[in-house]
Every structure is written in C-alpha cells, then in structure tokens.
Amino acid sequence: MKSFMQKISALFLTIVLLFSVLPLTAFAATPDEAEPGVIYVSEEDVQYGFYWAVQSALNEARENATEDLPYTVIVPEGEYNLGRALRIYSNTTLVLQGVTLTRSDSGNMLRVGDEDNESYGVTGYAYENIRLIGGVFDGNMGENTIIKAFHTKGFLMDGVTLLNEKDGHMMEYAGVDGLTIRNCTFKDQYLSKGKYGYEVIQLDVLQSFHITNARSEDLPMTNVLVENCAFDNVPRAVGSHTAVHNRPHDNIVIRNNMFTNIGSIAVQGMGWTNVNILSNSIDNAPRGITVYAEPGGCTYLPSVLAAEGGTTAHASDSYQKPSKANINIAYNVLTNVGTKDDIYASYSSQGIAVLGEKLSAKSPVESSDKSGGLPAGDYYLDGVSIHDNFIDIRGNGIRVEDARNVEIRSNEILCSKNTVHSDNYYGIVLRSNVTASAVSFNTIIGAEVNGIQLDGTNGGSVDTVQYNHIENTGKYGIGTYAMKITNIYDNDIIGTKNIGLFMGDKSTANEVNWNRIRNCSAEGIWITSNSKASTLKSNTTVKCSGSNSYGGSTVGSNYTSSAALTKFYLPWTNNKAGAEMGVGTMFKITPDVRPTNAFATFSYQSSDPDTVYVDDFGMVYALQEGSATITVTSNNGIKKTYPVAVEGDKDVTHVANTPKKPVLILGDADGNGAVESIDAALVQRYICRIDVPVSVYTLAHANVDGSDYLDVTDVTAIQYYLAGLATPYDIGKTY
C-alpha cells in the first residue's frame, strides 16, 4: 500500500509542477527603451540606500499613476536588506524579478497604502490595481507579517517567494476585492504555541485586534484566486479564522496548489460562499480541507466593526437565513493526512470537512477581540458537493455537519489507524441535521469505525446511498442512526469486523435492495426492531457469521449465495461516447454488476498512463493533454473500454453519443424523425418485395421486435402504436 500511495502522490506532484512553471510577465525593457509610466530604480541610487531609492519611485507612481496610465517600478537584480516597510499605492506594479529582500527589523516588508488606525483613514476599496511581480521576501524570522493589503480592489502577486516567518502570518488581506496569488512559493513559517499567526495567506476582517493600522469596517474578501502555488513547512496555508455576520467572504477559488509538511491544515474557510477548492495536492498534514459556516466565536457583528471604525454597517446584526454557500471540493489528492497531530489545537484528524453550527442561545462575546454575540439560529451551509477526491487518511475521510443539499460522490478514501489523536473515525460521516441528495460511488477501505456513518439523531435525511464499495472496517460497513433514507442500493460491503449494513434508532428507508455483503464478523444486515425498510429485497449476504435481522421491514426474496458475473456496466456507458477531462481532474469508475448477486473484482488499465492514469481502485487521473482508453476487466475476463480525452482546465464531462442524421427513432422507417402511417406502409412494401425509397439501414429501425427480419409483427406493432394502443416494444424511442 505504501508504494501505491507514493505513486499517487508523485503523479499529482507532476500535475502541480506542470501548472507551476507558467512564465511570469516579462519586463525586459532597458532604461534606454523606457516607456511612459515605467520607472527604473538605478543601481547607483540603490547603493546609497535601497529603501529610499525604491520608496521614492513608488511615491512618484503614487503621485502620477492613473487607471489609464498605470506605473511600473522595476528594481535592479540583487540582494538587499530592507529595514522598513515599502508602501505601494493605486495603479502601480512593482517588479522584483531577480531580487532578494532580507528583513533587517521585525516590521512588515510591503504593505498597500498608508498607515491608518481603527477609526481613521480610508474606507471601502480605496486602493486599486496593484501588482507585485517576482522577488524573494526573506522574513529573517522577524515577528510580523511580511505583506499586507487592506481596503483594496485588484491586488495581484505572480512568481513571488516568501521565506522564514516567525509568529506571524506571511500575508494578511482584509477588505480586498480581487485578490490573485499565482505561481508563488511559501516556505518555513514557524509559530510558537499560544500565537495566532497560523495562516500563510490570511483572509481576515477589518478589526483592530486582528488587523492593526487599518480602519475597521464590515468589508468582506471577494473574488479570491490562489493557484499554482507551493506551500512547505507552514502551520496553515490558506484560510480564515475570522468572519463577519451576514457578510461572507465570497467567490473563493483555490486550485492547482501543492501543500506539503503542514502543521495544522492546508485550507480552512470560515464564512465563505461560492467556494471552489480544486485539483490541489496535500501531503503530510494533521487535516486537509475544512470549511466552516459562521462560528459563534471568531465572527463579528457588522455593528461592532462599524462602531469601531466610525463606518456604516452594510448588514444586519439579526439572524438571517444563510445565503447559498455553493461549496465545491473536487479533484484533490490528499496523502499522509493524520500522520501527525495538530500542535496548536486539539482537532480531530479529517481529510475534508464542511461544518455548519446551530446556536441555541446568543454566543458569548470574547473579551479579548470583541467577536461573538451572534443571535441564536441555525448557521447551516447550503449547497455542498464533495466529489472525485483521493483521500489517504488516518481519521475521518469526509465529515459534514449541519448542511443542506449535500452530495458526496465518487471519492476514494483509504483509511489507516490514527496513532496521534484518538477519536471515533469514519470513512464518511454525516450528522447534526444534514440533508443529502446522494452518498454514492465512493470507495472506502479500512475505516477505523464505520465506512459510512449517517447520524440523524438531531435531524437529517439522505435520498440515495448507492454503489459504494466498502472494505475492512473496524465496525459496520454502513451504519444509520435515526436517519431517514430513501434508497440504499447496490453497495458492496466486504470484511467488516461487525455488521455489514446496520439500521438503528428509528432509522427508515423506502428501499434496501441489491446490496452485496460478505465476510462480516457478525450479521450481514441488522435492522433493529424500531427501524424498518419499506422494501427489502434482492440483497446478498455470504459468509457472515450471524443471521440477518430485518426489524419491521417488508422483506422480499434475498440471496444467501452468490452467482457468477455475466456482464457489468460502467455508470456512463449508456449512450455515452467517453469522458472529456481537464488536466488535474479525476473521476471514479464503479462497475455495476449483473446478476445483482454477483461478487466480482476488477482491474483497470490505461492505454497511455503518462496521459491518463488509472489506479488500483478505478480512480482516473488526467495528467496531461492527450487521449487514452481505459480498459476495465473483471476477474472472469469480461472487459469494457472507455475512451478519455484530456484538454485544458475544464471539469469532467461524460459525453453523449451524437445521434446520426437523421435522428434514429424505433419504428421510423423513413428516418424523418417521427413514427407515422407511412412507416407501416414502407414495411408492408418491403415484405411484398416492392421497391422502398429509403436505405436499408434506416428501414431497419422499423424492426421493432428485434427479430432477424421485418415481418407482419412489426407492421402490426407500429399500427398499434399509431392507434394509441400498448405494445411490448419501445416504439418512438430515440437512440
């Protein structure tokens, strides 16, 4: 298993590196070729004082740059000490390619705008159109944030490296609309216990305890993009530990980044909406990705920020129904998560978590930073999709609490025992009033407790639990508690150390059908006396030590022996020509077997693994542009193929076959797109050996009974169809 994990990690590292070598904007002009708005800081000026030479150029840009004529300040290559914070203003680009700056005091190294205070200075998005290109910022273990930007619209960093920060964030942003950080490297941030500067990139709020020298205001972070960056040996990489009530940080995209050797968590969202966390690689961390709603602590009432800043509150302090969160977490590869404990706080280990919170009473106000005071209410997260992720975890693979409209699909979760933080750990766990449309097509191996835990003790429901493959769990394969479920279909459960499928505490399901359960240390299916399935049929339990118990369920025919596989389907092969993928995306193959009580194993092979790789469990990875064919083979030699094309940065699409022209409809002998009396007449002419003015290929679609030839049965069936009478054939169906 270890070599397999190393292979997956190396493959995804390849993807990230492909994205991370994108070229920077070239600034190759020389002073002799200078254009209006370009300022070259001379080597001679730098020799007399680096700070004053560069700041003078930035001040000149401040006085003269406009939206129509932005200024660019270019610094000569070299290594320089920086003893004061550089200040950059609107419509200015600072180019530091080939430049290394080493902090010689403990202050900031670069910040946007002037130094204000909590109640005086600019408001709104006051500074605009600022770019930082290239350069190395060596914090030299100074105990202060390296780069800060507040009250800003449009801040871009490209190709910048930040190193050696102690007891502070590497970067802090608050009240920024349009933050883009790409192709950057962040390394070696050290945080002492009891300090709060966790995040490398902190998306914060404008409040004096958290953001000094900036005016307080309820101004959120919006339109944030962090892509193609590398984070190594840091506490938290990207995230928030503050939020504003009813003013969420909005449109947050974190994609194609590499996170290694993380002390706490790679990505932590708090009060975020419209979130896309895509195609990232996370290796060696206590936790991977967590998105919180507005927590009772760390969240500010708008009036508190407005009063402190002398600004106007833009939202109400009262409880309001949460806006749509739209959280999409997909195509991420997490390896070695939970191998070490979070030294900063006692968090349970988890790969991916999305957590709402219900307050039964007003939350207390923190004396230190004035956060809290939120009114009682349900701060749930609405709209959560967690799909097509690879998670190697010692802890919870996926955990969702107090959320609505949840889908958990096509994830591959490989679990190992957590030896650093004890807890009850599951492959997938939904609890605290979650409503989900589907928990489907997931592979879960080795969960410490249950493979899938559905806890409706405090409310909740799930529509469909289907096509999950679950092996070697510490307790149950699927465990439900007081949960209302519509369907539990076609799940494979193998080798649990207790029951395969358990329903208890007044759990209900409409249908529990076609599940295959084997080699369980206790019963295959156990439904308690106070739980029931309205229909329970065609389930197979083999080599389980106990006798099944079905509670108050309506029980049909079930199997106690397995059959040989005769055929299988891929989820998308019905009228699908193959998949189209973007580089860095993934999708999961879960074969659907026939007969339904057939136990089978499958192997997967790619015709070009350098372009499209498929792992031992059927997860398909798009590594580079090109094409390949995936072949799926059952243990008894039945095969299916599925073509895959990789191009650009699109999502995964399973593409439908394009129908031939004209559209082919069963019973449509002349191919005009409708079944009419002429079609019956054409068949009669053909039977009587009279010339038919259509191709034999089109005429064949009048062979509605599928026999070897056209005959009177076909004519009669078409006439019945035209008369509105029932026929045993799908006449009129397009294919």
Summarised one tens digit per residue, pLDDT across range 665-690 is 888 888 878 888 888 888 888 887 77
Residues 257-263, mean pLDDT to the nearest whole number? 98
pLDDT band at 504 (very low <50, low <70, confident <90, very high): very high
* Per-residue confidence (pLDDT) for residue 663, from 0 to 100: 65
Amino acid at 126: A
pLDDT score of 348 more than 80? yes
User: Which CATH number, 2.60.40.1080, 3.10.450.50, 3.30.43.10, 1.10.3720.10, labels domain 567-656?
Assistant: 2.60.40.1080
The rounded distance, in Å, linking the Cα atoms of 327 and 457 is 24
Residues 305-323, mean pLDDT to the nearest whole number? 96
Find all residues with CB under 8 Å of 629, minimum gap 6, and list them.
606, 607, 641, 642, 643, 644
* Per-residue confidence (pLDDT) for residue 682, from 0 to 100: 87
* Per-residue confidence (pLDDT) for residue 12, from 0 to 100: 59
pLDDT score of 735 more than 70? no
* Element housing 720 (H / E): helix 712-722
Tell me if the pTM is above 0.85. yes
The rounded distance, in Å, linking the Cα atoms of 498 and 474 is 7
Amino acid at 700: A
* Per-residue confidence (pLDDT) for residue 24, from 0 to 100: 54
Least trusted range by pLDDT, from 71-80, 430-439, 578-587, 698-707: 698-707
* Per-residue confidence (pLDDT) for residue 32, from 0 to 100: 46
pLDDT score of 581 more than 60? yes
Token pair 């790969």 is found at 351
pLDDT score of 30 more than 50? no
Average pLDDT value over all residues in the chain: 92
Q: Where in the chain is the domain with CATH 1.10.1330.10?
A: 660-735
pLDDT band at 573 (very low <50, low <70, confident <90, very high): confident
Closest residue by Cα to residue 253 from 182, 205, 204: 182
Residues 229-244, mean pLDDT to the nearest whole number? 97
- Report the percent of the chain where pLDDT is more than 70: 93
pLDDT score of 512 more than 60? yes
* Per-residue confidence (pLDDT) for residue 684, from 0 to 100: 85
Considering the segment(s) 660-735 as one domain, its CATH architecture is Orthogonal Bundle (1.10)
Number of Cβ within a 10 Å radius of residue 23: 8
The rounded distance, in Å, linking the Cα atoms of 440 and 451 is 12
pLDDT band at 21 (very low <50, low <70, confident <90, very high): very low
Q: Are strands 576-581 and 434-440 parallel, antiparallel or unpaired?
A: unpaired
- Cis? peptide before 595, omega within 30° of 0: yes
* Per-residue confidence (pLDDT) for residue 692, from 0 to 100: 74
pLDDT band at 135 (very low <50, low <70, confident <90, very high): very high
- The helix/strand/coil state of 49 is coil
* Per-residue confidence (pLDDT) for residue 197, from 0 to 100: 87
Measured at the CA of 284, the angle between CA 278 and CA 290, to 5 degrees, comes to 45
pLDDT score of 48 more than 80? yes
pLDDT band at 75 (very low <50, low <70, confident <90, very high): very high
Residues 181-205, mean pLDDT to the nearest whole number? 94
- The helix/strand/coil state of 685 is helix
pLDDT score of 485 more than 70? yes
Instruction: Identify the residue with better confidence: 685 or 660.
Output: 685
